[in-house]
Amino acid sequence: MPRLGELLRAQREKKGITLEQAAADTRIREKFLAALEAGDYQSLPGAVYTKGFLRNYAEYLDLQQEDLVLQFQQERGLIAEPARTFEPMRPIMRRSVILTPAVFVPVLVLAGIALFVGYLYYQFTSFAVAPALEVTDPSTDVIAQQTTYVLKGHTVATGKVTVTVFPGPLTISDIRPDSDGTFTTTVNLTAGANHIVVEVLDQSGKVSRVSRSIMLQPDAAASASPVKLVVDSPANGARFENTFVTVSGTTDGTLTINGATASVTNGHFEAHLSYPAGQETITIVARNAAGASVTETRTVSVAYTAAVVQVTMKGGDAWMQALVDGTVVTGTGRVYKDGESATFTGHQVVVRTGNAAVTQITHNGVPEGALGTQGQVVEKTYTAQ
């Protein structure tokens, strides 16, 4: 029969938990856990404390507590410890604080002054700060080709927004933001320069203003240089098996892929997209500063003959180990930092984590979210479908 320390160490290693991590999780000093696993009972505290440590450690490792306590007693040849006697502690006498007018009046005056200063500070911060206001579209002065422009922005949800367009003037009043503070309105433009003033009035009467200039040039669209877009990958009708879809190419404008902004570096772009099995249509749109745009679409098929598991740490660090077809993946079995990710492919993929709440899983292109709760130790197996 294995000795007690061998059982504990084997179970901990089976779960992929380091001795340092176990000490942090159980709040038992690492040197005591090491002594338990080494059978070094001379380095442990008294038997009563050691039994408590052993019960906590056994529960943490999913082992039978009482069986391990019995084995500990047998290995140490323990007998019942004699009852200890303690002399009653004598109460500590403390002097009571006696409130007299000489003490109470100054304290009351200081408290009143503090409350008054706090009230003045609250009034100043509440009424001296103007409401936040941001015009997101247009974010700067722009040139437009259409006689109408959809203006967008963000402010306090309880504010009243007014938009005035010069020349005219044209005033659009009492625009009500959504619950998240966003607002949208359509303004009519005249040929040439249009000066737009956006104001927000909050419930306390404070006002914020933001100005924009929109130059209406109806013929600018015809003379604008066309945007360039070359999609190198994927080919239309391409099939991807057990991997992500790579979208790459070149452009001289800004880029969106399926509506999401994509990064362009020195005219080149490359994105890796995960999709579930089936057929997917990818829409790539490039747009230049003059408003010209070009769109490319690609239809691809995605299939999985293995388990493809992408692990991403989000919201914190976590220890993680992966096994592919029964073999520990080199480089795992360590702490992964927040934002770090890795992908594993095989007939069977096993993921072990020491903090399930920050361990995000995507299996065969389908996001599954976190593996569990904060601090939870989880092991999950994924197989080919």
Sorting pLDDT into bands at 50, 70 and 90, what band is 291? confident
Length of the chain: 385
Kindly report each contact of residues 325-334 with a partner whose C-beta sits within 8 Å and lies 24 or more positions away, as own/partner.
Answer: 333/16
Decide: residue 345, CB within 10 A, 0-12 exposed, 13-18 middle, 19+ buried. Answer: middle
**Predicted model pTM:** 0.41
Q: What is the pLDDT of residue 51?
A: 87
Contact 251, 229 (CB under 8 A): yes
What is the Rg, in whole angstroms, of the alpha carbon atoms belonging to the chain?
A: 34
Sorting pLDDT into bands at 50, 70 and 90, what band is 297? very high
Contact 324, 344 (CB under 8 A): yes
4 backbone φψ class: left, alpha, beta (φ>0; ψ -120 to 50): alpha
Sorting pLDDT into bands at 50, 70 and 90, what band is 275? very high
Most confident range, picked from 17-21, 76-80, 103-107, 123-127:
17-21
Q: By percentage, how much of the chain surpasses pLDDT 90? A: 50
Q: Which helix (H) or strand (E) is 7 found in, with range?
A: helix 4-14
Q: What is the pLDDT of residue 81?
A: 44
Beta-carbon contacts of residue 310 (< 8 Å; ≥ 6 apart): 274, 341, 342, 343, 361, 362, 363
> Position of tokens 């992964």?
336
Which residue type does 315 have?
G
- β-pairing verdict for 378-383 and 341-346: unpaired
Most confident range, picked from 2-16, 79-93, 123-137, 227-241:
227-241
